[in-house]
Chains A and B, each alone.
Chain A
Amino acid sequence: MKRKSTLNRRSFLTRTSAIGGALYLGGCDKLSQSPSFRDLLDQAEGVTMGVQRFVLTSRSLAREFSEKDISSTFKANGSTGVDDPTYEKNASEKFANWKLVVGGLVERPMSLSLDDLHRLPARTQITRHDCVEGWSAIGKWKGAQFSALLQTVGLKPNARYLVFHCADMLEPGSPYYESIDLIDAFHPQTILAYDMNDAPLSVPHGAPVRLRVERQLGYKHAKYVMRIEAVSSFAFVAGGNGGFWEDRGYEWYAGI
């Protein structure tokens, strides 16, 4: 009698855990697709950003490495080229006739050539690039200090974000874009990089310029930047979440 009850108990436990496990798994997939549950999960991003911004001073620098630490292979992730005749023509001319357009909520909208960018105060940094997928690579970047560019164009008082419009499309009809706020825009390590590892930025890595925003993950580092727009809100840009990957569920604040 005792034996029978133990067996029943065991099979009850096994069945309960099996059913529980299945419910748990199916439930997690359902919850993953429920808009209200996703909204709840997304609340964590605000907490993370609030806490990180609290502990990060505007001067806290991402670690800089030495020449010997530079990765021998640096994976070019996302787009590795741009399928567009104008871009291809510019690339074949080494971007001699290419212009970066800066506009939106700025006092002096302008178009800058690669030479113009080279004339802005430059910064060189050997930093670690952290992909959201989990890998890291170390590269040497040289570019125009973004704060210097912003001082040249002058931000209007209601400008809150800088949106980077890019030439590449990871999906048809959806050009890549990204956005950062003024805290990151004025950070000393935020640069528009035109050189990588002592050579002009190659096409796979985002020629002619890519953003480096070193305290955030790789997808914030927009490649193939064509136009920069100062805005008061990015709610009306593309999907409204501030970036190509942000429109696909990734965090806008990518410091984690």
Chain B
Amino acid sequence: MEAASIGASATRTDGPTVVYRHALPVRIAHWINVVCLFILLMSGLQIFNAHPSLYLGSASDPSQRVLSMGAVREADGTPVGVTTIGNLRFRTTGVLGLSKGIGGELENRGFPSWITIPSYRDLATGRRWHFFFAWLFVLNGLAYFIYSIWSGHFRRDLVPTQTQVRHIGHDILDHLHLHFPKGEQAKHYNVLQKLAYLLVVFVLLPLTILAGLTMSPGLDAAFPFLLDIFGGRQSARTVHFICASGIVLFVFVHVVMVLVSGVWNNLRSMVTGRYRIEPAE
């Protein structure tokens, strides 16, 4: 499994070197994940739109509402989209609460049509997409976990070294200045990358899945402790939404980092496994 190791085949030369960075199972899992997460997000927003409010507790008690989107009419009759988070109200016409549907007409909907699957309102179909890709996502995740434990990917590539933890302040500054490691250091994920990946792989994604499962009345009967973990089905729905937002944030930062740290090199390494390393100065 040497080849799976980041930079395992790198040799020290003066020019750029190419290392085998991502093992095939990791690359496959990554791209299946890309497809699944996009579809899960967008079909999830279709499902959310069927009742664009979030609550805490077991039931949808209006006094326990933490977020809602909708349309109201102003005094002169103009419809406006309004998003309420806690006690804060925002006018979000055109994006949240009220936006143009595929026919070009303004309609009362939580998230806009360009970010939902299907683009038109269709809860039944949104659910079909969501549950199919949820299964694919879970099976892909399981395969990734089994592979990563068996091959040592987690231990070798994702757990930060003691040295890395000690220099975390330095790493943050480097990141803020968009200075990316070169030479020997570039053969491994840096500590911020490792922490971000660990957070997503071990916390965010499992929590999203658990919260999603807790919305199932069948599984609530089979595993009542799920309800106690989250404090009720509606809390679980809220946690599912927050975790999904966290994943969106991660993907956004991840894509920005890919773009600024060498888009072709990064893309190639996730397609062919090969990653080019610039020599240290």
Binding site for B on A (CB under 8 A): 9, 13, 24-25, 28-29, 32, 38, 40-45, 47-48, 52, 55-57, 60-63, 65, 69, 71-73, 128, 130-138, 214-217, 245, 248-251, 254-256
Contacts and interface: CB of A to CB of B under 8 A. Distances in A.
Contacts of B219: 52, 55, 255-256
Contacts of A69: 58-59
Contact of A28 (B118, B217, B237): B118
A186 B222 CA distance: 17
Contacts of B124: 245, 248-250
B131 interface: yes
Contact of A60 (B39, B119, B222): B222
A249 B128 contact: yes
Interface in B217-241: 217-224, 227, 233-234, 237
A134 B48 contact: yes
Contacts, number: 133
A215 B218 contact: yes
Contacts of B61: 71-72
8 contacts: A29-B120, A38-B125, A38-B128, A52-B222, A69-B59, A130-B233, A134-B48, A249-B125
Contacts of A65: 58
A208 to B, nearest CB: 25
A197 B217 CA distance: 21
B60 interface: yes
Interface residues of B, number: 45
Interface of B: 38-39, 42, 47-48, 50-51, 53, 58-62, 114, 117-120, 122-125, 127-129, 131-132, 134-135, 215-224, 227, 233-234, 237, 259, 263
A130 B135 contact: no
B218 A52 contact: yes
A61 to B, nearest CB: 6
B222 A32 contact: no
A186 B130 CA distance: 30
Contacts of B135: 44, 47-48
A56 B38 CA distance: 31
Nearest to A75: B60
B132 A44 contact: yes
Contacts of B259: 13
B233 A128 contact: yes
A217 to B, nearest CB: 6
Nearest to A255: B218
Contact of B50 (A24, A72, A132, A256): A132
Nearest to A218: B217
A136 B119 contact: no
B217 A217 contact: yes
A47 to B, nearest CB: 6
A206 to B, nearest CB: 18
Given A32-B122, A215-B221, A63 B227 contact: yes
Contact of A133 (B51, B58, B128, B132): B51
Contacts of A40: 132
Contacts of B222: 52, 55-57, 60
B47 A28 contact: no
B131 to A, nearest CB: 5
Given A52-B219, A62-B221, A134-B51, 18 more contacts: A32-B118, A44-B131, A44-B134, A128-B59, A130-B215, A131-B51, A132-B50, A215-B217, A215-B220, A215-B221, A216-B218, A217-B217, A248-B124, A249-B128, A251-B127, A255-B216, A255-B218, A256-B216
